[in-house]
Amino acid sequence: MRKGIAVSPGVAVGTAYCIHEIFVNPDTKRLEDQEVTAELARYESARDRVSQELRALNQKVERQVGHEAAAIFSVHEAILRDQAFTKKVRSWIVNDRMNAQAALHQLLEEYTRLFSRTRDSYLRERLGDVRDVVIRLSAVLTDVLKPDKMSIDGPLIIVADELLPSQAVALGDVEVQGIVTQQGSQTSHAAIIARSRGIPAVAAVTGILRQVKTGDRIVVDGRAGHVVVDPDPEALSAYSKLEREFFELQDQLAENRDQPAKTADGQPLQLLANINSWVDTKAAVAMGACGVGLYRTEFLYLTHADVPDEGEQLDDYRRIIEQSPNHRVTIRTLDIGGDKTVPYLGHAHQEANPFLGWRSIRLSFEHPDLFTTQIRAVLRAAADVKSEGREVRLMFPMITTLEEMRRVRTMVRRTKQQLQQEGQPIGDVPIGMMLEVPAAAVSLECIMDVVDFVSIGSNDLIQYLMAADRDNPKVNHLCQPLSPPVLRVLQSVIRTCNQAQKPVTLCGEMAGQPRAFVLLLGMGLRQFSMSPAFVPRMKKLASEVSIPAAEAMLQRVLEFKTTAEVKRFMTRNLRKIAPDFELLDSI
């Protein structure tokens, strides 16, 4: 049994399918003499194709973002054409009879060892560029996670170092029962995707790829954060029983999707869905969400080879709006940086403190053309929303000061004027902020006059409040949603919004966590946005709790001084309210 971080609750038993970083089990079988020439030709063809892609990217990014941002692709093409790079790959194919993927794998390992010895920060940064080039070559040579390449029968447990957005998109065509990653946290890409699809998942299981091979029987316990490799018959029987109970409970809860969300004493609630792509809108509808409370547009950029232009974005937003429950969507502008980077905007992860640096709205302000293109696409897509009950809202991430929010509103106003002069129809779009910076929480009363609504991004708010990187295993234990300081800040934010009569939603992971959900109800929150799979269970939980009961629990909790006291108290009360929910919450 290995211990990691519980990131998506539930239990799954299945067959391991290992993705070793970029490469899906590179074939180590030696080439026959007659195969060498063909393999060299295959590599050269892939290299030419990648070279063409990089040149096209350079031109498009220079046109849309600027010369400085586009320069990265010139660097990548230089690496691709580097004689030493090419000579090594060809040598391993010819002399060691490796296939191209295996040669690239060995090349990357060699460069990693070489660059890890240097103290030169510039050279260390170049390793990221080499990785990007190798990823592109590998993507051409082999299709990662392509279903017809998966010869394993039955449900799969994906085991990876980390799950990239491009890989995650392919999961929609594969029967995935669970996910295990060596890296990551409760808010990593893999975690977000797993929760949105109701897939049990565990992250930060150090060295798991060295202990598991494709085809092994494996258990994922997303409640306790446990991974069991090759369980004995007794353990297998016990976990299989838990797995059946988990899926049966999910099926039962999904039956309430057509029922309105309300508390035991009849208080109506809005349970919305967080989505990453139009694929997730299907789950949002199926699970009974009343709208989309957060569309993370960065996944459109992360899964795109280059900058999505206005037309591509317009098509995407229209599709999202049309397919979302009740055609209600809150679209968040680009939230790149920190743990989410794209090559055409530079390597933000090379900053000393990327989560505190050049990211989100700060990055958008530095690239006004890119930012304006996104705003134009949203305003044009919203023009189609005319009937009663439909609504498109535009939200901006990582707002820290009143000045930033005023600057945003000025840019939106000028973009509207530009579109009107062009004769383009535009929609009436409320403008809001994502509250995730403590400074904004403290000064929220000053910002209230320039926002139409507030969405609390609890994931980042907690890590900034606790000064602890949620992806750092040495300190992420401090990022606790149920810690007293977090609860007090949230209560203050929700009270300020309610007093100003401005809609407030919480769209972080807390919204789908049963113990936190009850306390948020007690604070006066009535709009929650969560992974689609969590909507039925929160709807059920809400029906078991009255507002006075939630308020009483909150008042008791606010007397506690430690997170452990809060957890014990809420776990005890949750068992009384809804005993089945232990299977759906992290331990």
**Are residues 470 and 187 in contact, defined by beta-carbon separation less than 8 angstroms?**
yes
DSSP H helices in 480-525: 484-499, 514-523
Point out the catalytic residue in the list 18, 290, 497, 507.
507
Known catalytic membership, residue 189: yes
- Contact by Cβ (8 Å): 221, 202: yes
Q: Which amino acid is at 407?
A: R
Q: Answer yes or no: are the C-beta atoms of 274 and 196 closer than 8 Å.
A: yes
DSSP string of 267-331, one letter each residue: -B-EEEEEESSHHHHHHHHHTT-SSEEEEETHHHHHTSSS---HHHHHHHHHHHHHHSGGGEEEE
Question: Helix, strand or coil for residue 169?
Answer: helix
Tokens of 576: 């009384």
Contact of 558 with 488, CB cutoff 8 Å:
yes
Which of 574, 538, 245, 13 is CA-nearest to residue 582?
Answer: 574
Query: Which entry of 76, 105, 189, 226 is annotated as an active-site residue?
Result: 189
C-alpha–C-alpha distance, residues 577 and 580, integer Å:
9
Write the CB contacts of 469 (distance below 8 Å, at least 6 apart in sequence): 355, 463, 475, 476
Taking 3-state DSSP, the helix, strand and coil percentages for the chain, each rounded to the nearest 5, stand at 55, 15, 30
Q: CA-to-CA distance for 491 and 297, rounded, in angstroms?
A: 28
What whole-number distance in Å separates Cα of residue 153 and Cα of residue 156? Answer: 8
Question: What is residue 530's three-state secondary structure?
Answer: strand
Name the amino acid, one letter, at 273. Answer: A
User: Which one-letter DSSP state was computed for residue 228?
Assistant: E
Give catalytic residue positions: 189, 507
